[in-house]
Amino acid sequence: MPTWPLGDAVLFYTDGVVEGRRDKEMYGEERLRRLLGASRAMGAAGIAEAIVNEAVAFPSGLPRDDIAVVVLKIPGGAPSPSTPRGRPDALSGRAGPCASLWIMRGTPVRHARAAAARWVAAEAAPAANFAGAFLTGSAAWADPGAVLPPTSDVDVAVVVTDPVAPPKLGKIPFEGVLVEVAYLSWNQIASARDVLASCHLAGAFRSDDPATLIADPTGRLARLRAAVSAGFAERRWVRLRCEDAERRITGGLASLDPGAPFHDQVTAWLFPAGITTHVLLAAGLRNPTVRLRYPAVRDLLQAYGRTDVYEELLGLLGCAHLTRERIGAHLVSMTSAFDAAAAVARTPFPFSSDITEAARPVAVDGSRDLLVRGLHREAVFWIAATYARCLKILAADAPGETGHVAGFADLAADLGAGSPDALRRRARELTAYLPRLRAVAAEIIAANPAIR
């Protein structure tokens, strides 16, 4: 049996690492050897991160092949500077001697949409109350020729004839795609005016792309789309959507209850803080995405020369000052809580399908992907939201498992929200910021040439 010197590392990688091309030049094994030589003093996670970062940065454009790296660090020798012995790796979530990172190609958007349509035809359309289905979220906004990352799902709204829609069905793996299904009653989309004024519903009907309507047996969805797409960029409706998002902020803060469990208090502040991004995304005619709201508003504010406002939004969330290493440590803690909650979850919650093994690529791998890409502060919102949800599940279904509470408390403290009093103070700061948020939204609306 072969033996390895203490402190040595073993690397496994896919050909996507070495076959990336910049014009006619391939990355190649020699570059990888040089990088390994320069990285050998690092821990397993540091080596894996260095390889993936360089493999992603080298090609012209996005990588065209899957990139996967597994590093085994033989225990022993001097403690590495990047991973103290006996502590978890900040990016892998596993014990220090082992780390793995991967970037996959994903699925073309048109193929993901087609898979979602087949799910609707097989599982939703046969029901007696079925009235239609359409795409929402990123899959509705994306270019059909683009690639849907494996860290994203395909959002589908199934319309039913019931006066009150059933609970959200959640994330369903289907033909290699994660389909997230929610139900809507006709009452919720009763008129084009209702949809045009909704910051979350209008985007699904903003264009006349027929592929966004999955099923429309009565033609009613097509008529709704025609009316909404005609008015989507009108100034009055853009303003109403911004006001709708702002109402969600004030309404969410009103639910902050100092007598509630601490994780619920954090949630009651966290989501309104995150909706500040939706006010501006609505003003910019951009997708009010959920998990990637901060990268999206970052791009918007850069386009309008208002990066100062972006730093203010991160400040409201409490993460403007946090380092990649610190956020990576919080991701490790959240991942541990996620795995524990997914294993015991029984009580139904509206978010239950987000804390399952099937949803792990979105909640955990998606957050890790942002860290690898240097968007660590942008990952904080969903790390914190997922962590709070995990604690809610554990409190309901494994009340004796309290080992994850301290890690969440550390995260909340880093965000300046470590106590009920601190949360109330952060809520007041958010409320005081709304006039400025409103003014920036008006500035974007005035400068946006697409708004008429």
pLDDT tens by residue, 136-156: 998 899 888 888 888 889 999
Q: What is the CATH number of domain 108-232?
A: 3.30.460.10
User: d(Cα 53, Cα 232) in Å, to the nearest integer?
Assistant: 39
User: Global pTM?
Assistant: 0.80
- Segments making up each domain of the chain, as ranges: 9-104, 108-232, 238-444
Asked whether the predicted pLDDT for residue 440 surpasses 50, the reply is: yes
User: d(Cα 275, Cα 389) in Å, to the nearest integer?
Assistant: 18
Residue with tokens 């690492």: 17
Dig out the tokens for 406 from the structure: 């301290």
Buried b / exposed e along 24-51 (16+ C-beta atoms within 10 A):
eeebeeebbeebbeebeebbbbbbbbbb
User: Which residues touch 305 (CB under 8 Å, ≥6 apart)?
Assistant: none
**Residue 95, pLDDT score:** 37
Q: How far is CA 22 from CA 18, 26, 64, 105, in A?
A: 12, 6, 12, 18
Confidence of residue 23 (pLDDT cuts 50, 70, 90): confident
User: d(Cα 359, Cα 151) in Å, to the nearest integer?
Assistant: 9
Mean per-residue pLDDT, 369-382: 92
**Residue 83, pLDDT score:** 38
Q: What integer best gives the mean pLDDT of the chain?
A: 89
User: d(Cα 77, Cα 9) in Å, to the nearest integer?
Assistant: 12
Higher pLDDT, 24 or 293: 293
* Amino acid in position 135: L
User: d(Cα 211, Cα 222) in Å, to the nearest integer?
Assistant: 11
pLDDT tens by residue, 231-285: 999 999 999 999 999 999 999 999 999 999 999 999 999 999 999 999 999 999 9
Determine contact, residues 93/336, Cβ cutoff 8 Å.
yes
Dig out the tokens for 254 from the structure: 């009103």
Dig out the tokens for 42 from the structure: 């690092």
**Residue 277, pLDDT score:** 98
Determine contact, residues 41/70, Cβ cutoff 8 Å.
no
Count of CB atoms within 10 A of residue 354's CB? 26
User: Secondary structure of the chain in the HEC alphabet?
Assistant: CCCCCCCCEEEEECCCCCCCEECCEECHHHHHHHHHHHHCCCCHHHHHHHHHHHHHHCCCCCCCCCEEEEEEECCCCCCCCCCCCCCECCCCCCECCEEEEEECCCEEHHHHHHHHHHHHHHHHCCCCCEEEEEEEHHHHHCCCCCEECCCCCEEEEEEECCCCCCCCCEEEEECCEEEEEEEEEHHHHCCHHHHHCCCCCHHHHCCCCHHHEEECCCCHHHHHHHHHHHHCCCHHHHHHHHHHHHHHHHHHHHCCCCCCCHHHHHHHHHHHHHHHHHHHHHHCCCCCCCCCHHHHHHHHHHHCCCHHHHHHHHHHHCCCCCCHHHHHHHHHHHHHHHHHHHHHCCCCCCCHHHCCHHHHHHHHHHHHHHHHCCCHHHHHHHHHHHHHHHHHHHHHHCCCCCCCHHHHHHHHHHCCCCCHHHHHHHHHHHHHHHHHHHHHHHHHHHHCCCCC
pLDDT tens by residue, 117-135: 999 999 999 999 999 999 9
Torsion angle in degrees (nearest 10) through CA of 162, 175, 62, 58: 140
Mean per-residue pLDDT, 414-424: 98
Asked whether the predicted pLDDT for residue 103 surpasses 70, the reply is: no
